[in-house]
Amino acid sequence: MVRHLSTVIFLLVFRSFRCGRDSRRPFEGNLPQNCTVPAYIQNKYYSRENGQNMFTTIQSNSFTRLRKVSIPGSIVETSVQRDTQVQETCLLMQCNRPNKVTGRCQSFQQTSDISGGIVYDSDRYRFLIHDTSTKCYRCREIAVRTINVLELRETECLTFGGNVVPDMTYLCGKLKGTKMDGNVERASWTTLFSQKPTRVSCRSSIEGSWTFKYSIQRYSQHKCLHPKNNLTSCPDPANRYSTEDRFYISYGACDDYAWKKGDPGLSFLRDMAMTFVCLGDWYIGNDHFFAAVNLGENRPEEQYRCFMENHDDDQYIGHSLAATCSTLLAPRVSPVMLHLFRAKTTTIAPSCSLPANFSGRWMNTAHAAVNSWIDINATHLLEKHRPDQRLAVETSFICQEQKGQRYMMARVGIGGCQVYYVCWHFLPRHHNIIRYRVGLAFATKDFRQVCSWSSFLQSRDWKYDLLIGKPTHGRSGFRVLTLSGVVRVCSPESIAGGMSHRWQVSLHPIR
């Protein structure tokens, strides 16, 4: 009792400590220091700001912001007639994860990286910026989302009398609250996309194959279901970056949007197939964001797109119609909403059979904490489990080769990409119980390797999981053990009024 009480007290103290830590503002109490922009965000970026194209160059202690006239035919028209360029100097900076002793930015190492720049252990920065042309000052905050994507927000450029340099804490206090701080909105953030992106894998962003319905929020709430609607992100495991850094979306045209033929920004009037290269992904709470660049577009405002899904509702993905992530507030209310349905990508023919008395539905104790079951027929085994409120995870196993009690099965995920081979080791069925264990997954179809005894790494002590018949079959008697230790053997008909409270019951077949 004392041990459990101490555990509860520790958990309560730990939770209160974390809550106190999380409630602190990211930059509160952090000391400004001379500006040295981290090397990994020094790059050239594109953003779409107020309907205009903005090109930003970030250097070690300066920013260059070039605002260009919109290209004719873009979604949002602009009245700007000429390009404008602003040269800015960075005076001071703050980090959201400073050194606990000095209060200044904490670097990973005391030395710089191979490019000569300092690498800080932070992902949010604030800069005191001086506009050299208008002699005004602003506070700019940058959130590093991926190696290719930044998000930026800033105050208005304010002028102070004489040569007075404003206090950084005072100026940054004028930044608007945002959703990621738990306050108001995401709309104040501007998304910056790298113009020379580093190649990254799509695996953490999106992986699998789906069909979908789509709707465009500002035109129609009707979901367009078309045979050509498909989203596929299936990397080739044999070639690391041949397809791993990209995914494909195809849309079929629906009549719902035909009456909007005069809108130059609406491209859903015809069938489309697009190839996107991933720029990385990030999380804000339960919201999962990822960005990508469309390889089929040359116009920068049409190249970059943001996507969003929610961890608790992954049947929907929202994506933007412009080069920004600020319009994505929830997947179901995004500019474009995709309602996903997993698609089976591979069909494999069976070449062996499972035991005849295995057929049926079974509860699976390997996922005891979740709703899990397995359907078995002569050649296939379909495993389904729902780890949370998301879509049920379905995996198909097709019998390929059998020797004794070991069965090499081809594992195909519903909505998955790659086929793997695993070994199922079954013991003979005992009434309503099948004991089994599963080996490691291999990409090659080789029984000697897949079903080697060494592949059962986590079960070398011959520990098995159970399949329990659903429902159990047969007529059973009861052996009842009372709290006083008295054992009674009886048939089901002899228990009048049902079982008493807290009795232990074990089932044994009537012989």
The pLDDT value given to residue 105: 76
Q: Does 273 share its domain with 153?
A: no
- Residue positions counted in the chain: 511
Nearest to 93 by CA among 54, 135, 66, 122: 122
Nearest to 408 by CA among 351, 459, 346: 351
Residue spans of beta strands (DSSP E) within 113-184:
124-131, 136-144, 149-154
Q: Does 381 share its domain with 502?
A: no
pLDDT at 359 over 80: yes
- Please give the Cα distance from 51 to 74 (Å, whole number): 9
Top pLDDT among 276 and 415 is at 276
What is the per-residue pLDDT across 93-151, written as a single tens digit (0 to 9) for each?
988 877 777 777 766 544 444 444 555 667 889 999 999 888 899 999 999 999 999 99
Q: Which of 311, 342, 373 is the last residue of a domain?
A: 342
- Is 135 part of any domain? yes
CA angle 170, 175, 180 (to 5 degrees): 130
CA angle 177, 179, 180 (to 5 degrees): 95
- Is 284 part of any domain? yes
What is the per-residue pLDDT across 178-221, written as a single tens digit (0 to 9) for each?
444 443 456 689 999 999 999 888 888 888 888 999 988 877 77
What is the per-residue pLDDT across 464-498, written as a single tens digit (0 to 9) for each?
889 998 776 555 555 665 666 655 555 545 545 55
Q: Does 55 share its domain with 172?
A: yes
Q: Does 449 share its domain with 398?
A: yes
- Please give the Cα distance from 210 to 208 (Å, whole number): 7
Top pLDDT among 239 and 392 is at 392
- Please give the Cα distance from 500 to 231 (Å, whole number): 56
Q: Does 183 share its domain with 47?
A: yes
The pLDDT value given to residue 502: 39
Q: Which residue has the tokens 């230790």?
A: 485
- Is 138 part of any domain? yes
pLDDT at 169 over 80: yes
What is the per-residue pLDDT across 419-434, written as a single tens digit (0 to 9) for each?
889 999 999 999 889 9
The mean pLDDT value for 302-322 works out to: 90
The pLDDT value given to residue 174: 87
pLDDT band at 511 (very low <50, low <70, confident <90, very high): very low
495: Cα separation from own chain's centroid: 53
Of 54-63, 252-261, 262-271, least confident by mean pLDDT is 262-271
Q: Does 187 share its domain with 289?
A: no
Residue 294: give the domain boundaries: 208-342
The mean pLDDT value for 64-75 works out to: 70
pLDDT at 401 over 90: yes
Q: Does 74 share its domain with 36?
A: yes
pLDDT band at 351 (very low <50, low <70, confident <90, very high): very high
**Exposure of 47 by Cβ count < 10 A (0-12 exposed, 13-18 middle, 19+ buried)?**
buried
The pLDDT value given to residue 433: 92
Exposure b/e, 95-108, CB count within 10 A at least 16 = b: bbebeeeeebbebe
Backbone angles phi, psi at 467, to 5 degrees: -110, 125
The pLDDT value given to residue 82: 76
- Please give the Cα distance from 483 to 498 (Å, whole number): 17
The pLDDT value given to residue 328: 92
| Percentage of the chain modeled with pLDDT above 70 | 69
Distances in Å between the Cα of 425 and the Cα atoms of 194, 267, 397 are 50, 53, 13
Q: Which of 317, 342, 367 is the last residue of a domain?
A: 342
Residues facing residue 260 across a β-bridge: none
Sign of CA dihedral 238, 242, 247, 253: negative
**Neighbouring C-beta atoms of residue 29, cutoff 10 Å:** 9
- State both tokens at 144: 């590093």
What is the per-residue pLDDT across 4-63, written as a single tens digit (0 to 9) for each?
434 333 333 323 333 333 334 566 656 677 888 888 899 999 999 988 899 999 999 999
Residues facing residue 277 across a β-bridge: 246, 293
Phi-psi category of residue 133: left, alpha or beta, with phi > 0 → left and psi -120 to 50 → alpha: alpha
Q: Does 430 share its domain with 321?
A: no
Our count of domains for the chain comes to 4
Q: Does 480 share its domain with 418?
A: no
- Is 349 part of any domain? no
- Is 17 part of any domain? no
Q: Does 33 share its domain with 171?
A: yes
Q: Does 149 share its domain with 274?
A: no
**Neighbouring C-beta atoms of residue 450, cutoff 10 Å:** 23
- Is 217 part of any domain? yes
| Percentage of the chain modeled with pLDDT above 90 | 37
- Please give the Cα distance from 92 to 161 (Å, whole number): 19
Q: Which residue has the tokens 């074990």?
A: 506
The pLDDT value given to residue 443: 86
- Is 199 part of any domain? no
pLDDT band at 345 (very low <50, low <70, confident <90, very high): low
The mean pLDDT value for 386-399 works out to: 75
- Is 347 part of any domain? no
Q: Does 320 share its domain with 411?
A: no
pLDDT at 282 over 90: yes
Average pLDDT of the chain is 78
